[in-house]
Amino acid sequence: MGVRDLFLIALYVVAVPASFLQPFVGVLFWAWISYFNPQDFTWGLASHIPIGYLVAIPTVLGLAFTKIKQAPPLTLQTLLLVVLWLWFCLTTANVFLSAELKHHSADTVAALWQVSKTFAMFLIALMLITDFQRLRWWYLVTGGSFALFALKIGLWGVATGGAFRAYGPRNSMIYDNNDFGVAMNMALPMFIGLAKTERSRWLARCFKAAVPMGIIAVILTYSRGALLGLVVVLAAMVMKSRRRLPALIAALVLAAIVFVAAPGKWVERMQTLRDVNQDQSAQARFHSWTFSYRLVRNHPVLGGGFQTHTPELYLRYNIKTDHVQGPHSIYFQVLGEHGFPGLMLFLLLAFSSWWSGGKLARHFLQHSEFTGSEESRELYEYAKMVQLSLIPFLISGAFLGLAYFDLYYQLVATVVLLKSFAQRLDWSPVTEEVAEENSIPALAN
């Protein structure tokens, strides 16, 4: 065993009892394991330990004994998340009842189990994150994991002249360069939000440094979908900035530097967008989307279940391609796997979370301005961060099969928590006349 294996095993020995004694610690370890995948940086015994289970089980057991917990806040997003989970269970059961679909039942059950673990842990997080400080720690772990990737890949990219593609941790949901690019785009608003709210100077500086490094990391994925997401999220961040002109100038300077300094291979890759008819990757997407559409015409309500893109079904629905690939779109993915009701629930969850993020940001900003509350100002930054992080997922996700990505559901859970925090705000320093004059809203669930 190497030093990395010994270090991780020692850390796991601490994590397991700590997760039982303080279940919130288990939530933090789960986030770190989910995003950073530390076991993928080892090659010995530590890489084979099922640390996810070793952390999740004591966390669930400890939940029964801890006094610091709450019922999951009841909001529209909470209800949609639970209903969507139940719908996934129903579409999975349907696979066993259909002679056409049952050949991929084992893969469907495995995918449902993976998604169920994700949903269950986020519901547990909703119970254990009872105040802003716990939310802050959750995002320090999450944002810190992606910041390490950004700093590592950004420095590596500069050193190598951007000659090689960047990938995520192996055996993770974001190993593929396209998926990793989307994840890093989603993390960029987190870096900015955490840099603005962290009172520790060195932490704030680390997150500030992660912003340009994260942009470099996105570019180094050579992903066209990630590049589109990067353009959109940077434009959204400029529009949301209180100093729009300096932000716009910085974005334009950055774009000029990218196109001047970009390696020739990267430029050639981006230029393939001019003729999608000659691009094999684009054609694979068209085949995948056509398959989902044809499948859902026969199974409009329950779809084909998880992992329904199979050679047998491609042949049955006359999709002529030499290589069967995944769904290549969060929207066609949910449509093909869970039918029109599943897609409707998914869209409601996504866009209601995005809308609520903006509404919450305005709510916290008003409270901060009228009461001078520092915590409300920080909550404003978090709400804005969530809304901005959802944008690249919804845009780039149109070309990638990341419908069950953990980070997306963490953003949804964060909206739920921020709504809960908003309901607790004390507006007492604000007079009735000022409140009426400025139309301070009461935030609905």
| Same-domain pairing of 373 and 235 | no
| Same-domain pairing of 295 and 419 | yes
Q: Looking at residues 126-140, what average pLDDT do you find?
A: 96
Q: What is the pLDDT of residues 64-121, one digit of tens each?
A: 999 999 999 999 999 999 999 999 999 999 999 999 999 999 999 999 999 999 999 9
| Same-domain pairing of 85 and 46 | no
- Find tokens 């008003």 and name the residue: 366
| Same-domain pairing of 3 and 117 | no
Q: 334 vs 247, which has greater pLDDT?
A: 334
| Same-domain pairing of 20 and 57 | yes
For the record, the structure tokens of 290 come out as 């056509």
User: pLDDT-based confidence at 412, cuts 50/70/90?
Assistant: very high
Q: Helices (DSSP H) in 198-279: which residue ranges?
A: 201-220, 224-240, 244-261, 264-271
pLDDT at 276: 57
pTM of the model: 0.91
| Same-domain pairing of 315 and 414 | yes
The last residue of one of the domains, among 217, 239, 274, is: 274
| Same-domain pairing of 343 and 435 | yes
pLDDT at 440: 47
439: left (phi over 0), alpha (psi -120 to 50) or beta: left
The last residue of one of the domains, among 242, 274, 306, is: 274
| Same-domain pairing of 202 and 320 | no
Q: Looking at residues 349-366, what average pLDDT do you find?
A: 95
pLDDT at 275: 60
| Same-domain pairing of 154 and 103 | no
pLDDT at 4: 80
| Same-domain pairing of 307 and 444 | yes
| Same-domain pairing of 140 and 172 | yes
| Same-domain pairing of 84 and 175 | no
Q: Which residues contact 380 (CB under 8 A, 6 or more apart)?
A: 361, 364, 365, 368
| Burial profile 149-168: b = 16 or more Cβ within 10 angstroms, e = fewer | bbbebbebbeeeebeebbbb
As for how many domains the chain has, the answer is 3
The last residue of one of the domains, among 217, 249, 274, is: 274
User: pLDDT-based confidence at 411, cuts 50/70/90?
Assistant: very high
Range of the domain at 96: 75-128+278-445
Q: What is the pLDDT of residues 199-250, one digit of tens each?
A: 889 999 999 999 989 998 998 998 888 888 888 888 888 887 777 777 777 7
- Is the pLDDT at 308 greater than 60, yes or no? yes
